[in-house]
Amino acid sequence: MDTILIVNAGSSSLKFEVFSVANSLVRLVKGQMEGIGTTPHLTIKSSDGEQLANENYPLETVPDMLAAMRLVGEWLRQRPQGQLIAVGHRVVHGGPNHARPARITDDLLRELERYTPLAPLHQPSNLAPIRVLLERQPHLAQIACFDTAFHRSHDPMTDHYAIPARYFDEGVRRYGFHGLSYEYVAGKLAEIAPGVGRGRVIVAHLGSGASMCALYQGLSIESTLGFTALDGLPMGTRCGQIDPGVLLYLLQQHGMTAPQLQDLLYKESGLKGLSGISNDVRALLANDDAGSRLALDHFVHRIGLNAGMLAAALGGLDAFVFTAGVGENSAVMRARISKKLGWLGVSLDPVRNEAGDLLVSNEDSKVAVYVVPTDEELMIARHTLALIAA
> Does residue number 329 form part of the binding site for ligand ADP (CB under 6 A)?
yes
Q: Which residue is nearest to ligand ADP (CB)?
A: 325
The Cα 81–Cα 79 span in angstroms is 6
Of the listed 2, 48, 64, 147, which one is catalytic? 147
The Cα 57–Cα 59 span in angstroms is 6
Instruction: Specify whether the backbone of 145 is left (phi greater than 0), alpha (psi in -120 to 50) or beta.
Output: beta
Stretch that binds ligand ADP, among 82-90, 192-200, 277-285, 307-315 (CB under 6 A): 277-285
The Cα 365–Cα 345 span in angstroms is 6
The Cα 278–Cα 295 span in angstroms is 10
Written as one letter, the residue type at 271 is L
Q: Which is nearer to ligand ADP, 193 or 235 (CB)?
A: 235
Q: Is 147 a catalytic residue?
A: yes
> Does residue number 230 form part of the binding site for ligand ADP (CB under 6 A)?
no
Select from 196, 326, 348, 381 the one that contacts ligand ADP (CB under 6 A). Answer: 326
Kindly tell me the burial class for residue 389, based on how many C-beta atoms sit within 10 Å of its own C-beta (0-12, 13-18, 19 or more).
exposed
> Does residue number 207 form part of the binding site for ligand ADP (CB under 6 A)?
yes
Stretch that binds ligand ADP, among 44-52, 146-154, 249-257, 275-283 (CB under 6 A): 275-283
Residues paired with 204 in a beta bridge: 212, 322
Select from 239, 324, 368, 381 the one that contacts ligand ADP (CB under 6 A). Answer: 324
Select from 268, 280, 349, 354 the one that contacts ligand ADP (CB under 6 A). Answer: 280
Q: Which is nearer to ligand ADP, 90 or 200 (CB)?
A: 90
**Phi and psi of 288, rounded to 5°?**
-120, 35
> Does residue number 337 form part of the binding site for ligand ADP (CB under 6 A)?
no
Q: Which is nearer to ligand ADP, 57 or 299 (CB)?
A: 299
| Nearest in space to 212 (alpha carbons), one of 150, 300, 303, 281 | 303
> Does residue number 126 form part of the binding site for ligand ADP (CB under 6 A)?
no
Helices (H) and strands (E) in the chain, counts: 15, 13
Residues of span 177-206 touching ligand ADP by CB under 6 A: none
CB 268 within 8 A of CB 256: no
Number of residues that bind ligand ADP (CB under 6 A): 12
Hey, which residues are catalytic here? 147
Footprint of ligand ADP (CB under 6 A): 207-209, 236, 280-282, 324-326, 329-330
